[in-house]
């Protein structure tokens, strides 16, 4: 199976990444956003992520096929060792292993930052429909995530109510005195040397 080139996203990627994200907003309940963010808003969001966390893209044949990033699970200090993961894949590139490649790279980077818990917030239908399936839960379970909670009928989109579930994965054990979490900038050279993520 073909593999992707994984690299760090730049603000210049915002337009292409927003194009990948747009169909998820317009045609699915995978995201609970109603309107596609402008490129300027996408740039702002990317910049905020990159202040501390990784934002990665997967390229195939010189074209971005998907992206993944992490963000704060909660901004209070005691949550520093937990992060929330997000991934989106270009519609015509789904089911080719790109999401798995991105998550595996994301987990390597986050482990170097001393992140211990990785969480995923996933839109979930009680009954699958044309806007939302249960595939994302299966995808995360396959990667070692476990279901830890559900909020029932908390999102309203396309005239329907959808639930949301949380899944989590522990990237390592939980020591009595965990090392401080590093910013993405602090480990950029290491991921370039160790994993070729530039």
| Positions of the chain with pLDDT under 70 | 1
Q: What is the DSSP string of 116-138?
A: -EEEEEEEE-SS--SS--SHHHH
Residue 83, pLDDT score: 98
| Structural domains of the chain, count | 1
Domain that holds residue 119: 5-195
Say if strands 117-124 and 146-157 run parallel, antiparallel, or are unpaired.
unpaired
CATH number at residue 140: 3.40.630.30
Residue 1, pLDDT score: 63
Tokens describing residue 18:
């927003």
């Amino acid at each position: 199976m073909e593999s992707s080139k994984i690299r760090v996203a730049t603000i210049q990627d915002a337009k292409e990444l927003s194009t990948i994200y747009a169909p998820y907003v317009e045609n699915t309940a995978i995201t609970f956003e109603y309107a596609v963010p402008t490129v300027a808003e996408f740039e702002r969001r990317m910049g905020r992520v990159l202040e501390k966390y990784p934002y990665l893209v997967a390229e195939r044949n010189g074209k971005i096929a998907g992206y993944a990033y992490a963000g704060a699970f909660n901004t209070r200090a005691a949550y520093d060792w937990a992060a929330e993961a997000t991934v989106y894949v270009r519609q015509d590139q789904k089911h080719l292993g790109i999401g798995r490649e991105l998550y595996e790279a994301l987990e390597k980077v986050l482990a170097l930052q001393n992140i211990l818990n990785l969480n995923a917030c996933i839109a979930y239908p009680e009954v699958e429909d044309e806007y939302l399936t249960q595939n994302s839960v299966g995808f995360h379970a396959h990667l070692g995530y476990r279901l830890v909670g559900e909020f029932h009928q908390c999102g309203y989109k396309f005239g329907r109510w959808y639930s949301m579930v949380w899944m989590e994965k522990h990237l390592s054990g939980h020591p009595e005195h965990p090392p401080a979490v590093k910013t993405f900038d602090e480990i950029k050279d290491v991921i370039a040397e160790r994993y070729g993520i530039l």
